[in-house]
Amino acid sequence: MTNPLLITGGTLVLPEKVVAGGSVVCHEGRITEVLERPVSPRRLASATVLDARGGFITPGFVDLHVHGGGGADFMDACDEAVRTALHAHCGEGTTTLFPTTTTATPAEIQEMLAACRRCRDHWQPAHGARIAGVHVYGPYFAPGKTGCHAADAARSPEPSEYKPWFADDLVRIATCAAELPGAVPFYRAARRAGCLITCGHSNADWQEMQQAFRAGMRHVDHFWCAMSSVVSLRSRFGTPMRASMEQFVLATPEMSTEVLADGHHLSPELLDFAFRMKGPSRLCLVTDASRAMGMPPGRYRFGSAASGSWFESDGEVGRANGSLASSVVGMAHMVRQMHRLSSASLPEVVRMASLTPAERAGIDHDVGSLAVGKRADILLLSKRLTVKSVVVGGEVWRHAGRTAP
């Protein structure tokens, strides 16, 4: 039996409001009380007390789309690399994430899945962020839409490759370009496995998106990045011009999407447009972070350290061949920028980084908000929204910038 944990002295950020002077009580890894008032430590004499010092108390962030950090990529496919990335993202407020594949050989993807399975099954709070499942992202990308992913490893889905991915509960998010041969059977297999099904790195038109929707697709990856547009579809189909992924997502209430709010991928106008069109319950913040997150400027591999494509990081964003190449910052940065650059309120921004991705991935019963019974993954943020303390599973993982042993 561990002592209770009392978090007080700050402003609670709940899905629809902020509560100044609120408190959270945790015990045995779960939230047991969320109180809209201060609690005297004398009421819980045996409790460990964390003082938010006038800052914000928020749920831990949830990242649906993340490739690595701290010098490691999940495609390095070893336990050390996986745990390095988990540790790096926890320091930026992400307490739950979905390691995300790149385009790669079948063997490389299988090795990545095996490493993530081992690290998920043997996770401890000291490791940092928890793996909620794997996001199979590459290799099913459309020609000309691979971005910084290795183009020669992109391919159409084949049942012999992807059926083993859905044999257990490891893969929870599954991406495929809607126009590829075999996309619809892939979506159906992912739906049977209970995955969040996404379309990404695609030049699909409205009809192809509609067909994908009927097969279970409900999400598209980083909005406006490596996705079809009216202009790109004219190059593919000629005239009359056709509606693209953008129009389909904006016109379909059930569809969700995600944005990179690092200040480099999208302008403030686009960030605010996405928020105003989809709202906080259908727009997610993601990092799409590479191994260069938290690292000095330099040249890095995107994907496997042995075979991934090269990109340059200037410490603010990645670039390859003159184009953007993933982000190099964590979720706390995305939250700060979205709050600064858009009209979204703080509860709405925090929701987009926590509860909304948890809902889309089907794990909101366990994480994503400050609610009784949920896992005690909690952040203490400064008034400037920098991470001061991180609680993972009810244990203080970091406090005032010091990582617990």
Give per-residue pLDDT as tens, 373-382: 999 999 999 9
pLDDT at 90 over 60: yes
Contact call for residues 332 and 387 (beta carbons, < 8 A): yes
Task: State the pLDDT at residue 404.
Answer: 55
Could you please report the per-residue DSSP string of 62-106? EEEEE-EETTEEGGG-SHHHHHHHHHHHHTTTEEEEEEB--S--H
Task: State the pLDDT at residue 83.
Answer: 98
Fold of domain 61-361 = TIM Barrel (3.20.20)
Give the CA-trace dihedral at 292, 113, 219, 152, to 10 degrees. Answer: 70
Give per-residue pLDDT as tens, 325-340: 999 999 999 999 999 9
The mean pLDDT of 286-305, rounded to a whole number, is 97
Task: State the pLDDT at residue 401.
Answer: 56
- What letter would DSSP give residue 166? G
Could you tell me the two tokens for 317? 């964003």
| Banded model confidence at residue 405, pLDDT cuts 50, 70, 90 | very low
Could you tell me the two tokens for 291? 């191994």
Give per-residue pLDDT as tens, 95-109: 999 999 999 999 999
State residue 165 phi and psi, 5-degree precision: -65, -30
Task: State the pLDDT at residue 155.
Answer: 97
The pTM assigned to this predicted structure is 0.97
Helix and strand numbers, DSSP H then E, in the chain: 11, 24
Buried b (16+ CB within 10 A) or exposed e, 75-90: bbbbeebbbbbbbbbb
| Banded model confidence at residue 2, pLDDT cuts 50, 70, 90 | confident
The mean pLDDT of 252-270, rounded to a whole number, is 98
Give per-residue pLDDT as tens, 212-237: 999 999 999 999 999 999 999 999 99
Q: How far apart are alpha carbons 374 and 28 in whole angstroms?
A: 11
pLDDT at 403 over 70: no
Give per-residue pLDDT as tens, 340-380: 999 999 999 999 999 999 999 999 999 999 999 999 999 99
pLDDT at 121 over 90: yes
Contact call for residues 191 and 173 (beta carbons, < 8 A): no
Q: In sequence order, which ranges of 245-399 are alpha helices (DSSP H)?
A: 245-251, 268-278, 331-341, 346-352, 355-361
Buried b (16+ CB within 10 A) or exposed e, 320-341: beeebbbbbbbbbbbbbbbbeb
| Banded model confidence at residue 298, pLDDT cuts 50, 70, 90 | very high
Give per-residue pLDDT as tens, 58-75: 999 999 999 999 999 999
The C-alpha angle with vertex 63 and arms to 62 and 66, in degrees rounded to 5, equals 160
| Banded model confidence at residue 114, pLDDT cuts 50, 70, 90 | very high
pLDDT at 305 over 70: yes
Mean pLDDT, the chain, whole residue set:
96
CATH ID of 5-58+370-403, from 3.90.930.12, 1.10.150.20, 3.90.1300.10, 2.30.40.10: 2.30.40.10
Task: State the pLDDT at residue 45.
Answer: 79
Task: State the pLDDT at residue 165.
Answer: 97
Show the beta-strand stretches assigned E in 103-166. 130-131, 134-136
The length of the chain is 405
Q: Find residue 259's DSSP bridge partners.
A: 285
* Domain edges within the chain: 5-58+370-403, 61-361
The interaxial angle of helices 331-341 and 268-278, nearest 10 deg, is 90
Task: State the pLDDT at residue 399.
Answer: 81
